[in-house]
Amino acid sequence: MTRLNRRDLLKAAGAAGALNLLWPLSAGLSPAQAREAAEALGADYDPAPFTLGVASGDPQPSSVLLWTRLAPEPLATEQNLPEIVEVDWVVATDPQLRRVVARGTAPASDTLGHSVHVPVSGLRSGTRYWYAFKALGKTSRIGRTRTAPVADIPRVRFAAANCQAFHDGFYAAHRGIASEDVDFVVHLGDYIYEHGQVGGVPADHVRDHEGPAVFTVADYRRRHALYKGDASLREAHAAHPWFLTWDDHEVANDYSGTGGGAPFMQRRAAAYQAWYENMPHRDSGTSALPDPEIHRVRRWGSLLELTVLDLRSYRSAQNLPDGTILGADQKSWLTRGIDRAPDSWHVWANSIMLSQLRGRPGGSYMFTDQWDGFLTERGEVLNHVHRSGLEDLVVITGDWHSAFVDDIRTDFDDTSSPLVGTEFTAHSVTSGAYSADWNRTNGPLMGRANPHLKYFEGNRYGYDVYEVTPERFSAHMRVIADRRDPLSPVTTLTTFHVDRGTAGSYEDPATKNSPAQWRRD
């Protein structure tokens, strides 16, 4: 088959002088022209008005959050809809929606982009359900979800994804996630990219220019709608319930949620609103705006405790003696949770790398937008983990566009310091990684500079599947063959295990000869 590549199409359009005809969010395009341009880049949409699909999120033992958003013209600045549209919803125990267990009606208002967030309660724990919406005489696709169990369970499987730049390729990884037998999905951030465009090409590919980026609610809504135009992403949302956190590109590259003047705070508010409108997110209060609450603890039976962190909203500037990545309130919340943690696996959903990462032996450089820019607080948190006696800690991370496996130590510069957990950093869905030459050269340098680093592989794209039993935590690195191919097959690159009660990971012997730029023997 002919393989399309969004990046190649955009570059070819630039050479032909036809950029504004191919980038869907270019200024001056009508909604129909924008959609035609998106479809030329491989996008498509569900039938109107449910063009962006359906989703569920934040599953709990008796409840789950259902989501959809009415957008008959997904890439329009304004939707031609009444101010309020009544949306019917239904939940059933069968995919034909015949055995209905809950139904109702929810208002979709223009104020929130005609989005619908329905917290359905009174459900049975550990049970699979199907759901759908109806509005304006039309019915949505049918979604599938699951509630959390409460009893002892023999196994939980879940997937983690991150970093899915639309202009960098097709979401074959999400197609893989949709077909996985998993209980839920964790998205670790960079769901969209806010990059500006120069003449229609994303500025990410024209690095010596800074074109117009996204600033308003309408801008961010259209960006989310473009990303939802990938059918595989909609399939993954419809197949499983999701837990969500965010990183920087949902708003602006490397931003601090507490920094910047009024123009930036307005931009942040616009980004947060559009993110909420387009995600199956359940907030703890009566309204998620202006600041959705991301951090939360959820349990999957007695087997797994999931702690979702927000590492953007409350952080200070980097490299300050008293700097914070968590913020005072979230830090207190996290340490209290460590003190009260049950006897189970403890998984932290962490958008940016927790482990130290020096660039080369003897070098002082570290990428300080991640936890390396907040050394004092990281040390405080990890020492608290050690003093509390918390065991079986696994941190799952995104952001790097490459796969890492790290031992977590209370002091990464002291190889004799206590080993308190394992961090798995997953490949990106599509977002461009460093070149193969860079990875080949720098993988060994990073390995020698970071004695806690066990594995690095940066030439591939995909997602992770985690399989958890009372005895073992296994990380399966799923990779796609080619991000130019929306139907790219998925294979398992390698698998790492962590045994219950024993800090530290080891690679499965069956996959230990798989390609990598660094592995510690």
Q: CA–CA separation, 352 vs 248, rounded Å?
A: 10
Does residue 68 sit within a domain?
yes
How large is the average pLDDT for residues 456-469?
Answer: 98
Backbone phi, psi, residue 418, to 5°: -60, 135
8-state DSSP, 427 = P
198-207, 209-218, 503-512: least confidently modelled range: 198-207
The model carries a pTM of 0.95
Asked if residue 377 is part of any domain, the answer here is yes
In Å, how far from its chain's centre is CA 6?
21
Residues 463 and 445 reside in one and the same domain: yes
Instruction: Answer whether 75's CB lies under 8 Å from 31's CB.
Output: yes
What pLDDT is stored for residue 39 in this prediction?
A: 94
- Number of domains present in the structure of the chain: 3
Query: Is 82 found in the same domain as 13?
Result: no
DSSP state of 428: P
What CATH number is given to the structural domain containing 82? 2.60.40.380
Residue 200, pLDDT > 70, answer no
Do residues 320 and 453 both lie within one domain? yes
pLDDT of residue 199 exceeding 90: no
Mean pLDDT of the chain: 93
In a domain, 441, yes or no: yes
CB of 315 closer than 8 Å to CB of 324: yes
Residue 281 lies in a domain: no
Position 283 in a domain: no
> What is the Cα–Cα distance from 273 to 288, expressed in whole angstroms?
8
Residue 131 lies in a domain: yes
Tell whether the model's pLDDT for residue 167 goes beyond 70.
yes
| Residue type present at position 453 | L
Under the banding of pLDDT at 50, 70 and 90, the label for residue 190 is very high
In this structure, of 27-31, 64-68, 477-481, the range with the lowest mean pLDDT score is 27-31
**Does the residue 274 lie in any domain?**
no
Assess contact for 351 and 369: CB atoms under 8 A.
Answer: no
**The pLDDT of residue 260:** 86
Domain identity same for 357 and 487: yes
Q: Where are the alpha helices (DSSP H) in 198-257?
A: 217-228, 231-239
- Specify whether 314 is located in the same domain as 166: yes
3-state secondary structure of 476: strand
Q: 165 and 19 share a domain?
A: no
Shared-domain flag, residues 310 and 422: yes
Q: Which residue has the higher pLDDT, 286 or 71?
A: 71
Co-location of 350 and 483 in the same domain: yes
CATH number, residue 326:
3.60.21.70
pLDDT digits (tens, 9 = 90+) for 316-356: 999 999 999 999 999 999 999 999 999 999 999 999 999 99
pLDDT at residue 286, rounded to an integer: 64
Considering the chain, what percentage of its residues have pLDDT values greater than 70? 92
Helix 217-228 / helix 262-277 crossing angle, nearest 10 deg: 40
Per-residue pLDDT at 209: 27
pLDDT of residue 379: 98
Q: What's the pLDDT score for residue 367?
A: 92
Residues 58 and 179 in one domain: no
The reply to whether 181 and 59 lie within a common domain is no
- Contact in structure between 226 and 38 (CB atoms under 8 Å): yes
Please check whether residues 66 and 174 belong to one and the same domain. Answer: no
Last residue of a domain, one of 93, 111, 146: 146
The Cβ-side half-sphere exposure at 287, using a 13 Å CA radius, reads: 6
Q: Give the end of a domain, one of 146, 178, 212.
A: 146
478, 465 Cβ separation under 8 angstroms: yes
With 80 as the cut, is the pLDDT of residue 210 above it? Answer: no
- Beta-ladder partners of 281: none
Written as six digits, the tokens of 122 are 């009174």
* pLDDT tops 80 at residue 206: no
266-307 pLDDT, tens digit each: 999 999 999 999 999 998 876 678 889 999 999 999 999 999
Q: Is residue 488 part of a domain?
A: yes
Q: Are 363 and 499 contained in the same domain?
A: yes
Higher pLDDT, 487 or 28: 487
Say if residue 508's pLDDT is above 60: yes
Q: What integer pLDDT is reported at residue 27 of this predicted model? A: 85
Name the β-bridge partners of 358. Answer: 366
- Concatenating the DSSP letter of every residue in 154-217 gives S-EEEEEE----GGG---HHHHHHHHS--SEEEE-S-SS----EETTEEGGG-TT-------SH
Structural domain that includes position 128 = 54-146
- Could you report the per-residue pLDDT of 380-411, keeping only the tens digit for each? 999 999 999 999 999 999 999 999 999 999 99
DSSP class of residue 302?
A: T
Percent of the chain with pLDDT over 90: 87
